[in-house]
C-alpha cells in the first residue's frame, strides 16, 4: 500500500474536479471540441508512472495500468511483460499486449495473439489482429477467414480502464480525476477490424453484428454498424434496405443520447455522481450509464 504521506506528495498539483469543470465550461463557451487546458489536465507525467511501477513490481494491476498510460513503446513493453508475469498470464492482458505490439510492428505480438487464440477461441480479436499484421507486412493473406468459434469481439477495454484508474489513484489522483483520465479505452482492435473488413473475410460480418449487442463502449457498436453497413450497401433487396434503415435509426438514437447527456446532465452532476457514472460505465456499459445519468435528479 502507498502511505498517506506519499499520496499527499504525489497529489500535489494534480487536477481536481473543479479544474475539469472549468475546462469543460471553457470548451463549451468556445465551441471547441478540445482546448489546450483540457488537454493539459489529462496529460500524465510518464516519469511518475514509471516511478510508481518500479515501487510496485509485484502488483499486476499497477504494472498493467502503467503500461496503458504510457505512450512510448520502449517504456510500455517491459511493463506489459511485468504485468503478465505478476498476473499469471491473464488472457485479457495478453490480448491488450498483443494488439499494442502488433500496432508497433513488434514480433512479440504473434506469440501473445496465438496464446489468446488457444485460451479464448470464441474471441475474434486475436484472429483479426493477426490478419491485420499480415496485411501490414504486405504478405499474401489469401485466407483471412475467422474460425466458426470466433463469434465475439472482446478487446478488453473495460479491464484496461480499471487498470489505468487503479494506477492513477495510486499516483494520488482523485476518484473523479482518475476515472475522467483513465476510463477511455484505446482500442487498436477497432481500427484493425475496419482495415481487415475491407477484404471481406468470412466471419467478420457476423462479428460486426455481435459488436452491436452488449458492447461496453458505444464506439464499439458504432464501428460494428459501419462494418456491417459495408456489406449491406452492396446487396439488393428489401431486407438490406430495411436493415440499413434500422442501423441508421439506432446510430441517431445513440448520438442523441450522448448529445443530450453532454448538454444537460454532465455539467450539472455532482462529483460523486460522476464517479458513479464512470463506475457504471465499466460495469454496465456506456449506454446504460448515460441513461442513468440522464434520469438522475441532481437537485438537492
Q: Beta-carbon neighbour count of residue 73 at 10 Å?
A: 14
Q: In the predicted model, is pLDDT for residue 300 greater than 60?
A: no
CA distance 38 to 31: 13
What pLDDT score does 299 carry? 46
Q: Would the pLDDT of 6 be above 50?
A: no
Chain segment 219-250, per-residue pLDDT in tens: 999 999 999 999 999 999 999 999 999 999 99
Give the count of beta carbons closer than 10 Å to the beta carbon of residue 175. 18
Distances in Å between the alpha carbon of 251 and those of 93, 94, 247, 258, 284? Answer: 30, 32, 6, 11, 20
Lowest-pLDDT range of 11-15, 46-50, 159-163, 284-288: 11-15
Residue 297: per-residue pLDDT: 59
| pLDDT (tens digit per residue) in 113-151 | 999 999 999 999 999 999 999 888 887 655 678 889 999
- Grid cell digits, residue 196: 481487415
CB 187 within 8 A of CB 196: no
The answer on pLDDT for 109 being more than 60 is yes
pLDDT at 214 over 50: yes
pLDDT 10s digits, 253-294:
999 999 999 888 888 889 999 999 999 999 999 999 999 999
In contact, 191 and 261? CB cutoff 8 Å:
no
- Tell me which DSSP letter residue 42 carries: T
Q: Where does the pLDDT of residue 193 fall: very low under 50, low under 70, confident under 90, or very high at 90 and above?
A: very high
Q: Answer yes or no: are the C-beta atoms of 286 and 220 closer than 8 Å.
A: no
Span of 117-131, 141-155, 171-185, 207-221 with lowest mean pLDDT: 141-155
Residue 112 has pLDDT above 80, yes or no: yes
pTM: 0.89
| Residue among 160, 139, 122, 227 at smallest CA distance from 130 | 139
> What whole-number distance in Å separates Cα of residue 165 and Cα of residue 175?
8
Report whether pLDDT(183) > 90.
no
Residue 189, Cα to own-chain centre: how many angstroms? 9
Q: Please determine, for residue 5, whether its predicted confidence score (pLDDT) is greater than 50.
A: no
Grid coordinates belonging to 114: 496465438
- The answer to whether residue 70 scores a pLDDT higher than 50 is yes
Dihedral (C-alpha) 11, 185, 76, 101: value to the nearest 10 degrees? 180
Domain ranges of the chain: 4-295
In percent, the amount of the chain with pLDDT more than 90 equals 73
The contacts found for 185-188 with CB under 8 angstroms, 24 or more apart, are 185/155, 185/156, 185/157, 185/158, 185/160, 185/161, 185/217, 186/68, 186/160, 187/155, 187/157, 187/217, 187/219, 187/220, 188/99, 188/100, 188/102, 188/103, 188/129
Res. 9: pLDDT tops 60: no
> Across the chain, what does the average pLDDT equal?
89
Contact (CB, 8 A) for 99 and 155: yes
Q: How far is CA 294 from CA 29, 126, 180, 259, 289, in A?
A: 22, 36, 18, 11, 8
Average pLDDT of 158-167? 96
- pLDDT given at position 3: 47
N-to-C CA span, the chain: 36
Amino acid at each position: 500500500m502507498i502511505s498517506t504521506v506519499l499520496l499527499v506528495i504525489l497529489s500535489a498539483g494534480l487536477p481536481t474536479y473543479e479544474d475539469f469543470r472549468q475546462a469543460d465550461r471553457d470548451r463549451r463557451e468556445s465551441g471547441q471540441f478540445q482546448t489546450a487546458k483540457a488537454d493539459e489536465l489529462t496529460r500524465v507525467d510518464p516519469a511518475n508512472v514509471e516511478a510508481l511501477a518500479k515501487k510496485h513490481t509485484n502488483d499486476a494491476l499497477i504494472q498493467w495500468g502503467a503500461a496503458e498510460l504510457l505512450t512510448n513503446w520502449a517504456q510500455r513493453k517491459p511493463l506489459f511483460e511485468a504485468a503478465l508475469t505478476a498476473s499469471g498470464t491473464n488472457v485479457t492482458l495478453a490480448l491488450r499486449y498483443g494488439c499494442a505490439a502488433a500496432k508497433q510492428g513488434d514480433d512479440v505480438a504473434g506469440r501473445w495473439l496465438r496464446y489468446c487464440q488457444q485460451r479464448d477461441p470464441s474471441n475474434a480479436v486475436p484472429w483479426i489482429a493477426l490478419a491485420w499484421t499480415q496485411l501490414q507486412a504486405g504478405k499474401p493473406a489469401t485466407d483471412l477467414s475467422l474460425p466458426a468459434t470466433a463469434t465475439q469481439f472482446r478487446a478488453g477495454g473495460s479491464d484496461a480502464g480499471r487498470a489505468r484508474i487503479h494506477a492513477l489513484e495510486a499516483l494520488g489522483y482523485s476518484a473523479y480525476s482518475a476515472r475522467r483520465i483513465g476510463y477511455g479505452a484505446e482500442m487498436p482492435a477497432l481500427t484493425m477490424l475496419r482495415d481487415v473488413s475491407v477484404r471481406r473475410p468470412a466471419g467478420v460480418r457476423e462479428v460486426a453484428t455481435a459488436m452491436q449487442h452488449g458492447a461496453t463502449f458505444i464506439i464499439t457498436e458504432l464501428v460494428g454498424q459501419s462494418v456491417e453497413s459495408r456489406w449491406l450497401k452492396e446487396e439488393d433487396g428489401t431486407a438490406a434496405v430495411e436493415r440499413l434503415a434500422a442501423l441508421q435509426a439506432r446510430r441517431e438514437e445513440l448520438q442523441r443520447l450522448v448529445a443530450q447527456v453532454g448538454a444537460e446532465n454532465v455539467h450539472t452532476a455532482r462529483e460523486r455522481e460522476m464517479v458513479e457514472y464512470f463506475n457504471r460505465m465499466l460495469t454496465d456499459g456506456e449506454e446504460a450509464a448515460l441513461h442513468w445519468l440522464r434520469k438522475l435528479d441532481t437537485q438537492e
